[in-house]
Amino acid sequence: MPASAHTGLGIKVVTLATPKDPNSISLENLSIASGNSGSPRASLSSRDTSSTTTFNPPDSMSSADTTTPRGSLTLLDEQGTPTALINAEELTAFRTALATNALLKKRQSVHDVTVFGAGKQAYWHVRLAMLLRGDEIHHMNIINRSFDRARELIMRLWNPLPGNENYENPLGHKYYSKTKSSIITPQSPEYQRLLKEQVRSANVIFCTTPSTEPLFPASYLTNPGGRHKGRYIGLVGSYKPHTIEVHPDVLRAAVAPHNEHRHHHKHQKEGGVIVVDSVEACLQEAGEVIQAKLKPDQVVELGELIMLRRDAEQRAKDRKDPSDDAKGVQVQESEGLKEWLTKGNVIYKSVGLGLMDVVVGGELVRLAREMGIGTTIENF
């Protein structure tokens, strides 16, 4: 995956374990036996009954699945000379979490955070969220098939470098003082209730699994009870057309036109669009976007939102007369955008950009040189 930035070039070579496509033909798919599978399949009943809906977690929530690529990133200068070689596994998870948390910075409330998965993507999303808003996060809920894997994630937050006695954890007292962590696995006898409770109560939801089926029923977020509060949802685990972490109905509800006067129940502001890292890539690769049949005008790039915000801030500085009628519409649009991004329902979908690898990788190399860490090969 080649990419370029103003600082130079980069070539990322990785291998990815592709999540199983239920529509592909394989010996496993040809089997018609239903009792031989080692783990339960996801099932979502749509029958109208008085009992609660049964929802089993997808197989893709198993600890064996990963969304993190294995490989390396080679950085080159403008003349094509190699300048650095970086492990792509940690870098990819880190730069993905950086982009996701860019929108978290502006959220009004982040008290309850729910995370699906316990791999590197989950770790860096949680760690950066704690570094940015740690004093305000009261509950960190990890939902994963493997309890041990989730426990390891939490332990790594406390002590990222157990072999380094001189390392001082930047999270420090912020993590220990207020944040209460919980782990939920499908083996819990109350999994159905806890799943619904933690999805509904969440101000922030990070989905970091290569799932091929929704991680929870759409109704948790789309019915009146689920729309009382605004949420920020980051979807970074699925990266193929057949992979999906939330039901398409969740995305359809987010982009559907809403008339404030036609609702008889409290609901939060919808932006009418899904935020993505790349419009072109997500329309072609993101399972949630494809299966929801979203159109190009229903997605907006994260970079565009950042430029709009900066432009609005600059206009506010340059405006001499705040009551200028000629700029009233722009002010109103800016306020509406701010309200949505800080309080409303915001969904961010990422499939990855090579540009992110080059830029973030370059900054990591710069920091490494300043700190005197890493290995330098002379006359390479």
Predicted pLDDT of residue 192: 95
Lowest model confidence (mean pLDDT) among 33-37, 189-193, 281-285: 33-37
Q: Quick one: residue 117, left, alpha or beta (phi over 0 = left, psi -120 to 50 = alpha)?
A: left
pLDDT of 52 higher than 70: no
How would you write the chain as a 3-class SS string?
CEEEECCEEEEEEEECCCCCCCCCCCHHHHCCCCCCCCCCCCCECCCCCCCCCCECCCHHHCCCCCCCCEEEEEEECCCCCEEEEEEHHHHHHHHHHHHHHHHHCCCCCCCEEEEECCCHHHHHHHHHHHHHHHHHCCEEEEECCCHHHHHHHHHHHHCCCCCCCCCCCCCHHHHHHCCEEEEECCCCCCHHHHHHHHHHHCCEEEECCCCCCCCCCCHHHHCHHHCCCCCEEEECCCCCCCCCCCCHHHHHHHHCCCCHHHCCCCCCCECCCEEECCHHHHHHHCHHHHHCCCCHHHEEEHHHHHHHHHHHHHHHHHCCCCCCHHHHHHHHHHHHHHHHHHHCEEEEECCCCHHHHHHHHHHHHHHHHHHCCCCCCCCC
Predicted pLDDT of residue 14: 73
Lowest model confidence (mean pLDDT) among 30-44, 45-59, 84-98, 227-241: 30-44
Per-residue burial over 355-377, b = 16 or more CB atoms within 10 Å of its CB, e = otherwise: bbbbbbbbebbeeeeeeeeeeee
Per-residue pLDDT tens for 86-145?
999 999 999 999 999 999 998 999 999 999 999 999 999 999 999 999 889 999 999 999
pLDDT of 32 higher than 50: no
- Give the pair of three-digit tokens for residue 309: 């915000």
Per-residue pLDDT tens for 19-29?
666 555 443 33
Are the CB atoms for 218 and 53 separated by under 8 Å?
no
CA–CA distance, 131 with 76 (Å, rounded to integer): 31
pLDDT band at 18 (very low <50, low <70, confident <90, very high): low
pLDDT of 149 higher than 90: yes
The residue-averaged pLDDT of 179-196 equals 94
Task: Report residue 369 CA to chain centroid gap.
Answer: 30
Per-residue pLDDT tens for 326-372?
343 344 457 788 889 999 999 999 998 888 999 999 999 999 999 99
| Contact partners, residue 343, CB within 8 Å, separation at least 6 | 108, 109, 230, 268, 269
Count how many residues are written for the chain: 380
CATH for 88-349 is: 3.40.50.720
Predicted pLDDT of residue 78: 84
Per-residue pLDDT tens for 196-229?
999 999 999 999 999 999 999 999 999 988 888 8
pLDDT of 53 higher than 70: no
Predicted pLDDT of residue 69: 72
CA-nearest of 297, 354, 339 to 95 is 354
Predicted pLDDT of residue 329: 35
Predicted pLDDT of residue 140: 95
CA-nearest of 280, 220, 208 to 245 is 208
Report the percentage of the chain scoring pLDDT > 90. Answer: 51
Per-residue pLDDT tens for 272-328?
889 999 999 999 999 999 999 999 999 999 988 877 766 666 666 776 555 444 343
pLDDT of 182 higher than 50: yes
pLDDT band at 63 (very low <50, low <70, confident <90, very high): very low
Selected residue with higher pLDDT from 67 and 81? 81
pLDDT of 263 higher than 90: no
Q: Any idea where the domains of the chain sit in the sequence? A: 88-349
pLDDT of 183 higher than 90: yes
pLDDT of 175 higher than 60: no
Predicted pLDDT of residue 61: 61
